[in-house]
């Protein structure tokens, strides 16, 4: 597997784990991380708006990952709404779509090129910056709890 993709998957998985352990859970029978509540925290929103990741954030908002669809029995792509007004919550929807496109087979995880590589790299940088803004999530992510 491409090391860039492996690093992104690992960061995403560790973040989902840290969110759940820190109590960011959607109210449901099956445990699901509540990315939206996490993204809505002031410190996380501030990190998402920070200068150190502004180029990555701008990339995901100006060129959001597309949504894989089926048209007439064939796979295709639909452009996604950038939803800049949604702030960090919308940003993390884009990051999750990058993950979903890889994990669910919409993209070849072993041979990413061009735009796809850039989106994966941007998503990874955004995750790392935002988890660092919330100490309990950061500590759980790094196994320091």
| 80 CB-contact burial (10 Å; exposed 0-12 / middle 13-18 / buried 19+) | middle
CB within 8 Å of 65: residues ≥ 6 apart:
80, 94, 97, 98, 101, 119
Q: Where are the alpha helices (DSSP H) in the chain?
A: 3-21, 35-39, 42-48, 54-62, 87-103, 114-131, 135-141
- Range 51-77 average pLDDT: 94
- Range 30-57 average pLDDT: 96
Whether the per-residue pLDDT at 2 is higher than 90: the answer is no
Q: Percentage of residues in the chain with pLDDT exceeding 70? A: 96
Q: What is residue 61's predicted lDDT score, i.e. its pLDDT?
A: 97
Q: How far apart are CA 4 and CA 1, in angstroms?
A: 8
- Range 6-12 average pLDDT: 95
Q: How far apart are CA 9 and CA 120, in angstroms?
A: 9
- Range 60-85 average pLDDT: 93
Q: Are 126 and 57 in contact (CB under 8 A)?
A: yes
Q: Which of 6-20, 71-85, 120-134 has the lowest mean pLDDT?
A: 71-85
The predicted model scores a pTM of: 0.91
- Kindly list the domain boundaries of the chain, sorted by start residue: 3-141
Q: Which of 29-33, 37-41, 126-130, 135-139 has the lowest mean pLDDT?
A: 29-33
């Amino acid at each position: 597997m491409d090391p860039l993709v492996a690093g992104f998957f690992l960061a995403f998985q560790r973040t989902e784990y840290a969110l759940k352990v820190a109590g960011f859970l959607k109210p449901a029978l099956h445990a699901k991380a509540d990315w939206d509540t996490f993204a809505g925290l002031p410190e996380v929103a501030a990190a998402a708006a920070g200068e150190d990741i502004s180029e990555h954030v701008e990339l995901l908002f100006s060129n959001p990952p597309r949504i894989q669809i089926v048209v007439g029995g064939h796979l295709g792509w639909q452009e996604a709404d950038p939803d800049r007004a949604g702030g960090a919550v919308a940003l993390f929807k884009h990051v999750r779509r990058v993950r979903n496109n890889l994990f669910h087979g919409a993209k070849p995880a072993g041979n990413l090129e061009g735009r796809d590589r850039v989106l994966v790299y941007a998503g990874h940088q955004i995750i790392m910056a935002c988890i660092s803004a919330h100490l309990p999530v950061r500590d759980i992510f790094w196994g320091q709890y």
